[in-house]
């Protein structure tokens, strides 16, 4: 399996990442362990989580996903060395635990390391921009963590092109660590936000891209085709926005391609992402071994130019 670099860093990853937002939310610890074991046994290595996962669940405080991942690592067997461990900081954990100030980052990284049961994080990402904190303060804090050996590489998530460019300029001017990766919202139904302005920056500056919501929260699997379908899972309540002519057209194009390739619609959607320039590894989640295997097939299929054109045209329909 051909691996890809995360930006200019020395981190080499398989072309599909596992999204750890499901750990402790839609899958329990036992199933999380099974999924992680299977993921690495298949030769994949990038696992992405965040300190705030899964604070949105009633009764949760955040840190649930990292805790389960840490328990998996603690089983031994070289598990830590088999993965590229990515987590994030910046989303609110409480009224006072939020943002990207130096104080917040230093407290958060130690809490994450404790939950993850490891002495270092491979990719530490700013979960969202913090306009209240100077970029130099944030980036200097990250740089100090790299020098201390607690973090190997840093990345950004949910940054605008303007702010990403500004952050890269600050890093260059101050000769401190720069963001090597970007984690944006990007999929067949959410293209403009990334392609219009962020894509050129990533190409020019050699930033590795690891898009989240690669399957549009499951819509691109073909599971949700009517209002009635939205009740099939906790994520369905947010997918009504895709139930329009454009969404139907994209699903129809995925249906046709999946029949030709002998795989699922989600598999095709991920393969389309992998075909795009700058993409290091799309992030996708699974709640069963069978579902995970179907997603991993995306690295084995080849979307030809005709299929790619049909998918592009469908996704470019009127909003």
230: left (phi over 0), alpha (psi -120 to 50) or beta: alpha
260, two tokens: 């030709």
Q: What one-character-per-residue DSSP string does 239-277 give?
A: -GGG-SHHHHHHHHHHHHHHHHHTS-HHHHHHHHHHHST
Residue 246, token pair as written in the block: 């454009």
- Under the banding of pLDDT at 50, 70 and 90, the label for residue 18 is very high
pLDDT for 227: 86
> Among this protein's residues, is 53 annotated catalytic?
yes
| pLDDT (average), residues 172-180 | 98
Is residue 132 a contact partner of residue 163, using CB atoms and an 8 Å limit?
no
Rounded distance between C-alpha atoms, residue 31 and residue 287, angstroms: 8
| Residues 91, 88: Cα–Cα separation, whole Å | 8
Strands 12-13 and 283-284 turn out to be: unpaired
Helix (H) or strand (E) run with residue 230 in it: none
For residue 269, the model assigns a pLDDT of 97
Q: What is the mean pLDDT of residues 232-254?
A: 89
Joined together, the tokens standing for residue 286 give 């699974």
Domain boundaries along the sequence of the chain: 4-183
Chain center to CA of 181: 11
Checking if the pLDDT of 204 tops 60, the result is: yes
Q: Cα-atom radius of gyration of the chain, to the nearest Å?
A: 19
Distance from the first to the final alpha carbon of the chain: 37
Residues 90-144 pLDDT 10s? 999 998 899 999 999 999 999 999 999 999 999 999 999 999 999 999 999 999 9
Q: Kindly tell me the burial class for residue 17, based on how many C-beta atoms sit within 10 Å of its own C-beta (0-12, 13-18, 19 or more).
A: buried
Q: What is the pLDDT of residue 228?
A: 85
Predicted local distance difference test score (pLDDT) of residue 319: 44
97, 108 contact by CB (below 8 A): yes
If you search the block for the tokens 């962020």, which residue do you land on?
Answer: 198
- pLDDT over 50 at 241, yes or no: yes
**pLDDT, the chain, mean:** 95
* Segment among 75-79, 116-120, 223-227, 294-298 with least mean pLDDT: 223-227
Euclidean distance between CA atoms 199 and 306, whole angstroms: 23
Global confidence as pTM = 0.96
The pLDDT value recorded for residue 106 is 98
Which residue out of 53, 179, 224, 242 is catalytically annotated?
53
CATH code reported for the domain at 4-183: 3.20.20.100
């Amino acid at each position: 399996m051909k691996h890809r670099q995360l930006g200019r860093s020395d981190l080499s990853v398989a072309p599909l990442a596992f999204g750890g937002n499901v750990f402790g939310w839609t899958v329990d610890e036992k199933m999380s362990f099974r999924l992680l074991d299977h993921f690495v046994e298949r030769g994949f290595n990038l696992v992405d989580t965040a300190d705030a996962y899964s604070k949105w669940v009633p009764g949760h405080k955040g840190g649930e996903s990292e805790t389960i991942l840490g328990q998996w690592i603690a089983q031994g067997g070289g598990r830590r060395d088999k993965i590229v461990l990515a987590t994030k900081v910046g989303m609110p954990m409480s009224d006072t635990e939020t943002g990207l100030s130096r104080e917040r980052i230093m407290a958060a990284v130690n809490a994450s390391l404790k939950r993850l049961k490891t002495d270092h994080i491979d990719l530490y990402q700013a979960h969202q921009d913090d306009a209240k904190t100077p970029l130099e303060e944030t980036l200097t804090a990250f740089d100090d963590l790299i020098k201390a050996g607690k973090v190997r590489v840093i990345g950004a998530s949910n940054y605008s092109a303007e702010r990403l460019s500004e952050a890269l300029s600050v890093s260059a001017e101050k000769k401190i660590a720069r963001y090597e990766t970007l984690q944006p919202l990007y999929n067949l139904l959410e293209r403009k936000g990334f392609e219009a302005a962020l894509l050129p920056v990533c190409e020019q500056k050699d930033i590795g891209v690891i898009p989240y919501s690669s399957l549009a929260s499951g819509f691109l699997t073909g599971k949700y085709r009517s209002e009635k379908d939205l009740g099939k899972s906790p994520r369905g309540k947010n997918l009504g926005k895709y139930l329009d002519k454009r969404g139907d057209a994209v699903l129809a194009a995925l249906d046709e391609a999946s029949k030709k390739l002998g795989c699922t619609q989600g598999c095709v959607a991920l393969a389309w992402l992998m075909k795009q320039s700058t993409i290091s590894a799309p992030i996708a989640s699974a709640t069963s071994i069978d579902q995970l295997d179907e997603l991993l097939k995306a690295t084995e299929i080849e979307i030809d130019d005709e299929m790619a054109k049909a998918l592009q045209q469908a996704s470019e329909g009127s909003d």
